[in-house]
Chain A
Amino acid sequence: MFLAWNEIKKNKLRFALVIGVLFLVSYLVFFLTGLANGLANLNREAVDKWAGDGIMLTEDSDQSLPQSFLSIEDADSIDAETAVLGQLNTIVTSGDLKQGVAIFGIDENEFITPDVSEGELFSDENEVVAADFLQEEGFEIGDTLTLSSSDEELTIVGFTEDARFNAAPVLYASLETFQTVRFGEATEQNADQVNGIVIRADDLSALDAPEDLAIVDTQTFIENLPGYTEQKLTLDFMIYFLFIISATIVAIFLYVLTVQKINMFGVMKAQGISNGYLARSVVAQTFILAAVGVVTGYVLTLVTGLFLPNAVPVQFDGVAMAIYGVVLIAVAILGAIFSVLTIVRIDPLKAIGA
Chain B
Amino acid sequence: MTVLELKQAKKTFGTGHKKVEALKETNFQAQAGEMIAIIGPSGSGKSTFLTIAGGLQTPSEGDVVINGTSLAKLNEKKLSKVRLNEIGFILQASNLVPFLTVHNQMMLLKKVKKDTLNDQELEELYKDLGIEELRNKYPSDLSGGERQRVAIAKALYTNPSIVLADEPTASLDSERAYEVMELLQKETKSKQTTTLVVTHDTRLIDYCDRVFKMTDGTLREEDHTPKEGTAHE
Contacts and interface: CB of A to CB of B under 8 A. Distances in A.
A10 B84 contact: no
Interface in A251-272: 264, 267-272
Contacts of A270: 54, 56, 83, 89, 91, 95
Interface stretch (A42-50, A184-192, A322-330, A345-353): A345-353
A269 B50 CA distance: 16
Contacts of A109: none
B108 A354 contact: no
Contacts of B138: 10
A354 B166 contact: yes
B112 interface: yes
A233 to B, nearest CB: 46
Interface string B78-90: 0011111101010
Interface in A227-284: 264, 267-275, 277
Interface string A306-337: 00000000000000000000000000000000
Which residue, of B87, B97, B100, has the highest number of chain A Cβ atoms within 10 A? B97
B43 interface: no
Interface in B27-57: 47-48, 50-51, 54, 56-57
Interface residues of A, number: 23
Nearest to B104: A6
Contact of A267 (B47, B57, B84, B95): B95
Contacts of B111: 2
B99 A6 contact: yes
A321 to B, nearest CB: 34
A8 B80 CA distance: 27
A77 interface: no
A205 interface: no
Given A352-B95, A353-B91, 8 more contacts: A3-B108, A9-B99, A270-B95, A272-B87, A274-B77, A274-B80, A275-B80, A354-B51
Contacts of B81: 272, 274
B122 interface: no
A352 B85 contact: no
B57 A349 contact: yes
A268 B99 CA distance: 13
Contacts of A7: 99
Q: Sorted from nearest, which 3 A-B pairs have the closest CB atoms?
A: A272-B84, A272-B83, A10-B99
A349 B83 contact: no
Contacts of A271: 83-84, 89, 95, 109
15 contacts: A2-B104, A2-B107, A6-B99, A10-B99, A264-B98, A267-B89, A268-B97, A269-B80, A271-B84, A272-B82, A272-B83, A272-B87, A272-B113, A273-B112, A353-B93
Contacts of B82: 272
A277 B51 contact: no
* B-side interface size class: 20 to 34
B92 interface: yes
Contacts of B77: 274
A2 B110 CA distance: 11
Interface string B103-141: 010011101110000000000000000000000001000
Nearest to A9: B99
Given A277-B112, A354-B51, A264 B80 contact: no
B90 to A, nearest CB: 10
B64 to A, nearest CB: 15
Contacts of A348: 56
Contact of B50 (A2, A6, A275, A354): A354
B47 to A, nearest CB: 4
Nearest to A10: B99
Contact of B91 (A2, A10, A277, A352): A352
A354 B56 contact: yes
Contacts of A6: 99-100, 104
Interface in A7-35: 7, 9-11
A258 to B, nearest CB: 14
A101 B111 CA distance: 68
Contacts of A2: 104, 107-108, 111
B89 A349 contact: no
B7 to A, nearest CB: 21
Contacts of A9: 99
Nearest to A265: B97
A15 to B, nearest CB: 10
